[in-house]
Structure 1
Amino acid sequence: MSRTRRVLVTACSLLLLAGLSGCVELPESGPVVETEPSVEVEEQQAAAIDAVPPQEGETAPAIVKGFLDAMTAYPVQTDVATQFLAQQAQAGWNPDDATITYASADDPTVDPRTGEISVALSDPESLDARGGWQGPLPADQQTLTFRMVVEDGEYRIAEAPDALIVPAQWFSQRFRQVSLYFFDRTSQILVPEPVFVPRGRQLATTLIDGLLAGPGEKLAGVARSFLPGGLSVGLSVPVAEGVAEINLVGDAGQQNDEVVEKMLAQLVWTLRQEPSIDAVRLRIGDEEVRLPGGVSEYRVDDAPEFDPTGYQASLLLYGLRGGLLVSGEPDTLAPADGPFGETDYGLRSVAVNLRATSAAGVTSDGTSVVVGAVRAEAGEEEAQRVEQVVSGATSLMTPSWDFADRLWLVDRTRTGARVIVREDGRLSDVQVPGVTGENVRSFLVSRDATRFAAVVRDAGVDRLLLGRVKVDFRGRVRRAVDVRTITFEDTEPLRVTDIAWTSATSIALLSQVVPGELFEVRTVAVDGSPAGVEALSTTVNEQVVGLAGSPVPEAQQYAVTRNGLVDLTTSRVIGLEEAVTSLGYVG
């Protein structure tokens, strides 16, 4: 892990996984769980920094150093940094286009042939204009070059990168990671997009600015926005008595009730991250936006039907005991009353859809998948029917379901993994770069169906791959894109036993520290950003066979042992009278 990542992790990681944080007490018996202590993270204002303008008679290297130093002014502003630029360069410099963070910077050096000034950055990483993490800078961009000119007898910078260029430690103290909420391409479910934004009292304004910028071309086919283009926020978003007054400037045209509802859904899901906001009122131009019935105030906990973790998704656990499907709380697991709970179909793994109406089971030889109802109403013959939907496979992994009841399958063939999706009763292959044809150990799809996570093993080392899923205008899956590989330099060779969703924007990895004896759970952000890496490091000194994790905030996260569960938040050990396999939440 780079030094930049280690710095950002310290300050930002606890923001992503509140569901896994908490003080842990050692149990009196059972496996010992060691967890980093929870810290109450409050929004603290970082110390103010005054930028120093260029001084008379400074050398060219001093001007470049002063320019970089001036960008660390806080509250964030670049007026002084602009003074280090030549007059012609000032108008064209746009530090809002990107952010570059670095662990350290070498002293500026002069090229004796050209007079240009170079600064080599250590572990530089970049973010886009919205604050979305883009990853490490390519090697050929890790040295900044500044062309210099002389104006009025003083050195000035003739051209500068269009970016805010700051130390990683400075950035971690003054920025936090939040999510902007857009819709999936079919407009049925919200999709959280993680971004870094400045800390402070203007969070609401910053969030609205991010929404108005839209998801961008890169997410075409993945996400969309219902906020019309061409709008901008007024001077700010004032909050009085818990109500945010949003005044958007520009012409939004005529919007129907459905569009208004989804505009407001994006706003309230995004603004609920600001604790002081309970409701919003929206004006576009001079017109107040109202819902059907004349409602003008929209609460931030409204629009639950667009929940990215699945509207009314089951919170129960499901698994196989004695060949039968069981469900319930950890200490009250009981056979389901559908066909899988009454008849042993010889399954080795099972997955239940979000509404807990259908279950998909992989047969013991790994070659077939059968689908049937989770519950059966008395007298309904259809509810008792089990249908074989896949046959002739090689070695199928545990399936995944998304919100649209698409069933995702990975078949580990002799030539590598084959990714298959079943939608509308039809099977089709999906090409996933870095996954298709490889030695895949785990594969998950997010409930909003816009992301996937996979563990791929190569030469005994496991890598985590994170990517996006594109669909067409009808919602049919087309391909996977923007695949990023996450490695862990501090623990390689990493051997991952299992992965699970722990929030809509984070994943937990279970890995072996001491084979068969000591296991670690760590969390990773879905965009691969440093904020999620090692957000929590939890160890269990018992043989853990898997994870039972859910993106729903209220759900408990468990390490699954051969004889029970370990609550990763409280360390409570829950014994199971009989062994349960393939235990997990819906999805």
Structure 2
Amino acid sequence: MNRRRAGFAAVLLLALALAVSGCVRLPQSGPVVETKSGGALDDEPGIFIDPRPPQQGASAPEIVKGFLDAMTATPIQTNVAKQFLTKDAQASWNPESRTITYADASPPRPRGGASRVSVTLTGADQLDARGAWRGRLPHSDQVVEFPMTMENGEYRIAQAPNALIVPESWFEQRFREVSLYFFDPTAQILVPEPVFVPRGEQLATTLIRGLLRGPNPGLERVSRSFIPSGLTFGLSVPVSADGVADISLKGEAGPQTTQAIELMLAQFAWTLRQEPAIRALRVSIGGQQIQLPGGVSEVSVDQGAAYDPTGFQASSLLYGLRTGRLVSGNAGALDAVDGPFGERPYGVRSIGVNLDATEAAAVSRDGRTVLLGPVRGPAADVRQVVSGAADLLRPAWDFGDRLWLVDRTSQGARVSYVERDRPTIVDVPGVSGRSVHSFLVSRDGSRLVAVVHRNSGDTLMVSRIRHDDQGRVLGATEAQRISWEGAGRLRIRDLGWLNPTTIAVLHVLTGELSQVRTISVDGSPPGLDSLATTLRGRVLSLAGSPVDAESLYAVTRSNLIDLSNSDGGNATLDPGVTSLGYVG
């Protein structure tokens, strides 16, 4: 659990303790965590489920029920589940090919006598072999058919879906969401891909297995791997008592350049650093130890800092406008920058600063033009890069110094980016042409998240941005809807990053009541690690960063409410401060 999520969880525990003691009062401002604790442990639950094997004389529906029950074995294993299959079906069944979770399942029903048994899954979702979320199971697959046969006088399943099929409540308690780290097409920055993996001692093994599978084929031109294809490893990735993971790979890697080896090790390091017990790693291919220049074979999990997906050496300061001038600093201490946008007002309403805080993009008060200029530098360098727009939202930057814009025209949203002072329109299916209220672009340049307004309420949409190996934008994938659980009409006022794969959403409940909820960019439903904080008073926006050490703030007219720390706390906001946020 990262520091900020731990802070949310601690706030929740404090609120619960006060509620139990009967001494809680509803504050006039500040966070009250309302739902979904992040207090789940990374270890496997201390509950053991030892399923029964097939019983003599069991009916065909009982065999199917026993098979489904056996897949909930804890610790996770499928040895008992296989016993419900025929010998041939055991040899061909591959439960590692995907995972299906369901909210409820109908009792197994025989069809055509006892030759076939069907089960209807309700609220079924699926994950691929990597553990990546793939959304709702197609309706046609929600009725699962099990052909039955007699083997040695007992009913057995003749063919089973190649999947682990388990209740979603069981899944939430035993799996955690982590990331596999790949590279962008230019090999300049790491791109995290969220996956679900079992909790417990086999985390390192599961992570390496996922990395070796590579990125999802649908993410071509979005992310790439520098781990040679075709490599395998033994039964596990052992971790020594002093925290060193040994990755022994088998197969032919072919000749590798020093840079390719460095990039491969960065992928391993960033992926394994999610296991706190691992401090370093060693990699061998075909029995030969991989070494960095200087003969170093033991690599720290801090290897590859230059490829940080949140931006290498990105500014950690807050930036905003105060009476039209650019200010920067920490919460409660914002000062005008020593540059053109800080020295005089340019008549702008929103501003975005690039990752290393050298350039700022400012949207005019009427939303029709964009000025680009140095954060600190001569006023002569301020120039207009966009004109004639309709209604531009607050701009965003990625690591390649691309400036991303969304213009709310009468025909719907027009998405574009500015590079070398030239704007280029990008068609984002599901976002372009729609009514868009807010948007984010990830610092690694691989994701665009947008709030799309519909008659039924707001929806969250996420698209992947494609680039070539020179960094040129090639297009975007069709945006996928991020699920939102809860009753009532969704009204999203703002978005902010919590980490590279999680966003915070400001949802307006009433005029004086708002909710800040965290949600994964892969569209998976909220799990045990998702959190929600309810705030009284009018919250105007969020200031969020994907960097774990930087706080998530709820912004009001006079305060910054720190949602990341267990003690909460407010910082006074100078009058007239608007468009407040981090770089990016």
What is the TM-score when the length of structure 2 is the normalising length?
0.93
Partner residue, 1:499: 495
How far apart are 1:567 and its partner, in Å?
1.1
Amino acid at match of 2:532: S
Is 1:387 matched with 2:383?
Answer: yes
Q: Is the 8 A contact 1:525 1:533 kept in 2?
A: no
How far apart are 1:370 and its partner, in Å?
0.5
Aligned with residue 23 of structure 1, among 8, 11, 14: 11
Partner residue, 2:71: 71
Partner residue, 2:522: 527
Structure 2 vs 1, CA of residues 467 and 39 (structure 1 numbering), >3 Å: closer, same or farther?
A: closer
Amino acid at match of 1:580: V
Partner residue, 2:563: 568
Partner residue, 1:275: 276
Structure 2 vs 1, CA of residues 524 and 442 (structure 1 numbering), >3 Å: closer, same or farther?
A: same
Structure 2 vs 1, CA of residues 105 and 210 (structure 1 numbering), >3 Å: closer, same or farther?
A: same
Amino acid at match of 2:498: T
- Partner SS for 1:260: helix
Q: Is the 8 A contact 1:373 1:384 kept in 2?
A: no
Is 1:577 matched with 2:565?
Answer: no
Is 1:296 matched with 2:260?
Answer: no
Partner residue, 2:540: 545
Structure 2 vs 1, CA of residues 421 and 128 (structure 1 numbering), >3 Å: closer, same or farther?
A: same
CA distance in 2, matches of 1:524, 1:122: 23
Structure 2 vs 1, CA of residues 118 and 472 (structure 1 numbering), >3 Å: closer, same or farther?
A: same
Partner residue, 1:449: 445
Partner residue, 2:464: 468
Is 1:324 matched with 2:325?
Answer: yes
Is 1:401 matched with 2:400?
Answer: no
Structure 2 vs 1, CA of residues 178 and 473 (structure 1 numbering), >3 Å: closer, same or farther?
A: same
Structure 2 vs 1, CA of residues 116 and 39 (structure 1 numbering), >3 Å: closer, same or farther?
A: closer
Structure 2 vs 1, CA of residues 558 and 344 (structure 1 numbering), >3 Å: closer, same or farther?
A: same
Amino acid at match of 1:148: M
CA distance in 2, matches of 1:268, 1:49: 34
Partner residue, 2:21: none
How far apart are 1:30 and its partner, in Å?
6.5
- Partner SS for 1:65: helix
How far apart are 1:109 and its partner, in Å?
0.6
CA distance in 2, matches of 1:295, 1:487: 46
How far apart are 1:19 and its partner, in Å?
6.5
Partner residue, 2:141: 141
Deviations along 1:356-413, one digit per CA (max 9) or x if unpaired, are 000000001111001000012xxxx5x7410100001111111100000001001100
CA distance in 2, matches of 1:15, 1:579: 31
RMSD (Å) for aligned C-alpha atoms: 2.1
Q: How does 1:208-287 map to 2 (within 5 A)?
A: 208-240=208-240, 241-287=242-288
Which deviates more from structure 2 when the two are superposed, residues 17-26 or residues 91-100?
17-26
Aligned with residue 434 of structure 1, among 412, 430, 436: 430
The percentage of aligned residue pairs carrying the same residue is: 54
Structure 2 vs 1, CA of residues 14 and 332 (structure 1 numbering), >3 Å: closer, same or farther?
A: closer
Q: In the comparison of the two structures, how many residue pairs are matched?
A: 569
What is the TM-score when the length of structure 1 is the normalising length?
0.93
- Partner SS for 2:180: strand
How far apart are 1:273 and its partner, in Å?
0.8
Q: Which runs of 5+ in 2 are unaligned?
A: 16-24
CA distance in 2, matches of 1:268, 1:520: 36
How far apart are 1:290 and its partner, in Å?
0.6
- Partner SS for 1:173: helix
Partner residue, 1:6: none
How far apart are 1:475 and its partner, in Å?
1.6
Structure 2 vs 1, CA of residues 551 and 191 (structure 1 numbering), >3 Å: closer, same or farther?
A: same
Structure 2 vs 1, CA of residues 225 and 55 (structure 1 numbering), >3 Å: closer, same or farther?
A: same
How far apart are 1:82 and its partner, in Å?
1.7
Q: Is the 8 A contact 2:172 2:527 kept in 1?
A: no
Q: Which runs of 5+ in 1 are unaligned?
A: 1-12
